[in-house]
């Protein structure tokens, strides 16, 4: 799963930064110690709610609502900008899995929304999946330098 996940996030240093912050020598070790219990060998994620797409020291999002219309998803959250580890300018990221592809994490990263917007509407690529395939979504934030990230928050639509 680590190799596939790394392809999905590209050059985002989410787990490398989190590992350094927590004293782990390797990012894959932290990823597996955090998510190992959520994975079944050869099958992928079975416990989507407890899987962590992202870890970090920024303030975590609190999803207040999620809606879906076809492949269009709207997420609303509390912005948390009154907290010392949050900024209205934090970038929005959404990781996701199709319920039918539990070993294939995906990431939307060029989202033109910020933490302070408190809402985003995104198009999830259909991925040749049947209409109505459940989506497992993970909202998280990154600072403007991509030097800090928040833990991900899960929702299913």
What is the pLDDT at residue 101? Answer: 96
Domain ranges of the chain: 1-156
Q: What DSSP assignment string belongs to 18-63?
A: HHHHHT-S-HHHHHHHHHGGGEETTTEES-TTT--S---SSPPPEE
Q: What is the pLDDT of residues 51-67, one digit of tens each?
A: 999 999 999 999 999 99
Q: Which pLDDT score is estimated for 109? A: 94
- Dihedral of the alpha carbons of 72, 75, 76, 82, in degrees to the nearest 10: -140
**CATH class of the domain whose range is 1-156:** mainly beta
pLDDT of 42 reads 87
- Enumerate residue ranges in the chain where pLDDT < 70: none
pLDDT of res. 77:
97
pLDDT of residue 82: 77
Give me the pLDDT at residue 157, please: 97
């Amino acid at each position: 799963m680590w190799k596939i996940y790394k392809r999905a996030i590209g050059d985002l240093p989410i787990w490398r930064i989190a590992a350094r912050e927590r004293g782990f020598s390797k990012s894959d070790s932290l990823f597996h110690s955090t998510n190992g219990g959520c994975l079944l060998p050869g099958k992928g994620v079975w416990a989507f709610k407890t899987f962590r797409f992202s870890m970090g020291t920024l303030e975590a999002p609190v999803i207040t609502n999620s809606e879906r219309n076809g492949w269009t998803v709207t997420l609303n959250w509390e912005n948390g900008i009154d907290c010392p580890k949050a900024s209205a300018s934090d970038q929005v990221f959404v990781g996701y899995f199709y319920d039918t592809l539990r070993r294939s994490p995906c990431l939307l990263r060029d989202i033109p929304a910020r933490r302070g917007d408190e809402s985003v509407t995104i198009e999830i690529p259909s991925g040749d999946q049947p209409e109505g395939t459940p989506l497992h979504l993970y909202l998280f934030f990154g600072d403007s330098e991509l030097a800090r990230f928040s833990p991900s928050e899960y929702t299913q639509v």
